[in-house]
Amino acid sequence: MPSGWQVGIDVGGTFTDVIAVHQTLGEVRAAKVPSRTDDRIAGLVSALQTVDLAWSDVDDLIHGTTIVTNAIIQGDHAKVALIATRGFSDSLEIGRQNRRHLYRLDLPPKLSPQVPAERRFEVTERLDHEGRVMITLDPDSAEDAIRRVERSGAEAVAVSLLHSYANSVHEEALGEKLRSRLGFVALSHRVNPEAREYERMATTALSAGIMPLAASYLDDLDMAKPDDSRLHFFHSAGGMASPDVLRDLPLGLAASGPAAGVAAAGELSRTLGFERAISFDMGGTTTDVCLIIDGKEQIANDRSIGGRPMRQPMVAVESIGAGGGSIARLDHGSLTVGPESAGADPGPACYARGGEWPTVTDANLVLGYMDENSVIGGTIRLDIAAAREAIAQLSESMGMAMEDAAMGIIKVANAALLRALRRITVERGIDGRNSTLIAFGGAGPMHAVALARAFSIGKVVVPAHSSMFSALGCVGARMRYAQQRTVRVASDGWDAEGVEQVRQALRTTLAAPLAATGHDDDALTFEEVASIRYRGQSYAIEVTGATLDDPEGLGRDFRNRHRALYGFATEEPWELVSIRVRVSAPRDGMAFPPVARTSAAPSPVTTSSCTFELAGPTPTPRFDRASLIADRMLSGPVIIDDEWSTVVVPPGATLTADADGHLHIATGIES
C-alpha cells in the first residue's frame, strides 16, 4: 500500500542531502549527513534513517549522484576496446587541432586517448554521409575484430562506425554479435546519433568505460531496494530516468547533482512567474550557474568533463572553481582565489580541522557575515581565531588591514562569479540584467546580492530549503528524456518528409521508456530545438520553439537569433543541421514544500559587526529564518541564518519572505 512519501537524495562528495515530502500530510523532513564513499548503499540508507524513514516507507526515491562525474574526472574507467570503420580507428587519438595549453609547449597538447592503439580494431564497411551503404559490413572482418576484442582483455567495447548516425544497420549487426560474448557494449548511434566523428567516438568510448561501474551501482541498489518502492535517477538533461535506461546510457548520470539544482530553480521560476532567471549554486568547491528562460533551463549539446568531450543533451551549466573552500593566495603580487580548494578535509581554517590557507569561508567569517558562535549543521563549530590567523598571513603580505584583505578575497571571488554570469548571458546574446538571480547552495545566499549588484540585477530570490536545493530538485523531478539527431536539410531544397520522419523517430524513441512506466502519449509534452547554420559555416546556433513544419518561419527565427548573437543576418541559404527533442511526463501532486515557521513576530537573535564594501563596520541584526513573517519587509543591513546557510542583505537592500518561505531581496539596483 502506498505510504505517500516522496524522497529526493543528492549524494555529493562531502555531504548527502535528503528531503522527504508527504503531500497529503503536508509534512517535510530534511537533513544533511556526511557522504560515505566506502559503502554508498549504507550511506543512502543512513540518510533515510536521519529523517526517520526506512526505505520500505518510501514510494518514490529520486537519486542524484556524483559517481559517474567523479569516475570521469579521476580517470576511473573500465578497460575499453574500440571497433571503428577501417582506416578511422585513430580518429580517437588525432582528435582536434586545438591545444589544452596554448602557450605551454612543455605540456602535452592533449589528453591521451581513452583507448590505446593496442585495443583499437577495425572492420570493413562504409556508409556515406546520408547513410547509403557503400561497402556492406564484411562478416569475416567483424568476426576477426570481435575475437581480437576478446583477446585484448577489454571489460567493455565501444562501436563507432563512420556515419552510423545516418544509418545504424552495421552498428546494430555488430552490437548483436558482441552482446552475446561481452557484457558491456556501447553503440555510437545510441549514445550520440550526430555528425562530428571524433566527438561521437570519444563520447561512445567514455560511455563504454563507465558502463561497468554504473551497472554495478545500479544492480546493488536494485538488490537493496524494497519491492514496493520505486527508484529513479536524476540525469544530466534535467529530469529523472529509470535505472534500466541508464544501464545502457550511463553518461546520463554525469552532472546529475548540478542539473537537479537547476531543475528546481526552473520549477521555482515557473511557479513565481519569472520570464528570465539565473540559477546560482555556490558550494564548497565549485559554483554552477545556468540561464532559465520562461521557466525552462537551457540545454547544451557539446560539453566536456575532465577534459573529455561529451556530446549529448545536458543542462547548460557553467561551472567554475570558486566556492566557500576556494583558497586565496598571492601570485606575483596579484590576489587570486581558487580554483584550488581546501575541500571538506581539512576544509577552511575556521573549521578547525587542520586547514591553514585562507579561504572564501574564512573571509566571510572575518567580515562578520557568518555567526562565529554558530555550529553549522550541529557538527561544525566555527573558529574565528583560526580564520583571522589564516587571513593575517595574506594581509601582512599585502600591507593592508585584515578586514580589507578579507574584502579583497570576496571581491576577487565575486569577479570570477561575474565572468560566469557573462558567459551564460552576454556571450549568448542575452541581456541578463533583467533576470532574477536564484541563489542556493551553502555559500550562494552570502554572495548573491553583491554579485547581483555587480551585474546590475535588481532582484534575488533565496528559495526555501536553499542549502539542499538539489535534493529538492530530485524530489520534484519529472520523468524526462532528450536526444539530438543530425539531419542536414538545406533551406533551398527543403525535405519536409525527411524532417518529419526524424521528428517522429525521435519522439517514438524518447516516448518508449515513458510508455513502459505507464505514461500515455496524450499526457506527454514534447519540446523541439533546431540547430541551424548558414551554408559553409562550421558551427550551428540553436533556435528554440522551432517551427519545423514551416521552413520560412524557421528561417526568420534563425536570422533573428543570428542577429541577436552576432549583430547581423543575411538572406543567404541556410541549413537545418540537427533536431533535438525533449519529452517529459507530468508528475501529479509535486510542489515546493513550505518551510517550518514560527508564529511570533521576528526579533533579532543577536547583533554582529559586519564589514560591507561601502558602509564599513556596521552593527547588523541577525534573524532566524524560521521566525520571518510573510510580507514583512526587513531593510539591510541584516543577516538571516538557518541551520546550514547564511543570507547576507547589505545596506541599501531589502528582504521580504513570502508565504512559502522563499526570500525575495531587492538589491537596490534598477534593472
Work out the angle between the directed axes of helices 67-74 and 197-224 (0-180°, nearest 10): 130
Rounded to 5 degrees, what are φ and ψ at 113?
-65, 150
Neighbours of 4 (CB within 10 A): 15
Q: Are the beta carbons of 34 and 14 closer than 8 angstroms?
A: yes
Residues 6+ away with beta carbon under 8 Å from 393? 358
Matching CATH number, 5-72+216-252, of 3.60.20.10, 3.30.1360.170, 3.30.420.40, 3.40.640.10: 3.30.420.40
pLDDT higher at 405 or 430: 405
Is the backbone of residue 536 left (phi > 0), alpha (psi -120 to 50) or beta?
left
Residue 319: closest CA among 360, 290, 342, 287: 287
Look up the pTM and report it: 0.84
CA pair distance 129, 195, nearest whole angstrom:
9
Which cell goes with 154? 577489454
Top mean-pLDDT range of 245-249, 285-289, 460-464: 460-464
Q: How does residue 355 score in pLDDT terms, banded at 50, 70 and 90? A: confident
Range name among 69-73, 227-231, 641-645 with the lowest pLDDT average: 69-73
The pLDDT assigned to 655 comes to 96
Residue 37 has pLDDT above 80, yes or no: no
Query: Given pLDDT bands bounded at 50, 70 and 90, which one contains residue 96?
Result: confident
Rounded-to-integer distance, Cα 509 and Cα 277, Å: 31
Q: Is 293 exposed, middle or buried (0-12, 13-18, 19+ CB in 10 A)?
A: middle
Distances 228 to 6, 433, 590, 600, 634 between C-alpha atoms, Å? 13, 48, 20, 42, 47
**Which alpha helices (DSSP H) does 194-253 contain, by range?**
197-224, 243-248
388 backbone dihedrals φ, ψ, rounded to 5°? -65, -40
Lowest mean pLDDT among 438-442, 513-517, 615-619, 640-644: 513-517
Phi, psi of 379 (to 5 degrees): -130, -30
- Beta strands 616-624 and 303-305 are unpaired
Residue 472 has pLDDT above 90, yes or no: no
pLDDT of residue 579: 92
What pLDDT was estimated at residue 446? 94
Q: Is pLDDT at 615 greater than 80 in this prediction?
A: no
The mean of the pLDDT values for the chain is: 87
List the one residue out of 354, 336, 334, 335 whose CA is nearest residue 344.
Answer: 354
Residue type, 653: A
Cell match 565501444: residue?
Answer: 158
- Which residues fall within 8 angstroms of residue 99, CB to CB, at 6 or more apart? 109, 110
Mean pLDDT of all residues in 289-312: 83
* Residues 59 and 6 sit within 8 Å (Cβ to Cβ): yes
The torsion of the CA quartet 371, 377, 380, 381, rounded to 10 degrees, works out to 40
Percent of the chain exceeding pLDDT 90 equals: 41
Give pLDDT, residue 430: 83
| pLDDT at 600 exceeding the cut of 60 | no
Q: Give the model's pLDDT for residue 599.
A: 52
* Model confidence band, residue 1 (pLDDT cutoffs 50, 70, 90): low
Of 100-109, 347-356, 627-636, which range is least confident? 100-109
Inter-axis angle of helices 139-151 and 169-179, to 10 degrees? 40
Is residue 622 within 8 A of residue 604, CB to CB? The reply is yes
In whole angstroms, give the CA distance from residue 485 to residue 491: 18
Q: Which cell numbers hold the place of 118?
A: 593496442
* Mean pLDDT in residue range 224-232: 88
Q: Which three cell numbers stand for residue 202?
A: 570519444
For residue 159, pLDDT beyond 50: yes
User: Percentage of the chain with pLDDT > 70?
Assistant: 96
State how far the alpha carbon of 431 is from the alpha carbons of 288, 304, 395, 421, 461, in Å: 19, 26, 37, 11, 19
- Distance (Å, whole) CA 273 – CA 294: 8
**Do 124 and 86 touch, CB atoms closer than 8 A?**
yes
Q: Which residues contact 138 (CB under 8 A, 6 or more apart)?
A: 123, 124, 125
Burial class (CB in 10 A: 0-12, 13-18, 19+), 52: exposed
> Distance of CA 205 to CAs 28, 82, 137, 665, Å?
42, 7, 21, 46
pLDDT at 35 > cutoff 80: no
Per-domain residue ranges of the chain? 5-72+216-252, 79-210, 479-585, 606-666
Torsion angle (degrees, nearest 10) of CA 133, 136, 142, 143: 150
Separation between Cα atoms, residue 92 and residue 119, nearest integer Å: 12
Stated as kind and residue range, the H or E segment containing 557 is helix 551-566
Q: Which 3 state secondary structure label does DSSP give 395?
A: helix
Higher pLDDT, 156 or 605: 156
Q: Quote the crossing angle between the two packed helices 402-424 and 384-398, to the nearest 10°.
A: 90
**Closest residue by Cα to residue 430 from 561, 271, 262:** 561
pLDDT over 70 at 186, yes or no: yes
Position 589 scores a pLDDT of 47
Read off the pLDDT of each residue in 457-463 and give the average, rounded to a whole number: 95
Nearest-angstrom CA–CA distance, 477 and 460: 23
Q: Is residue 596 predicted with pLDDT exceeding 60?
A: no
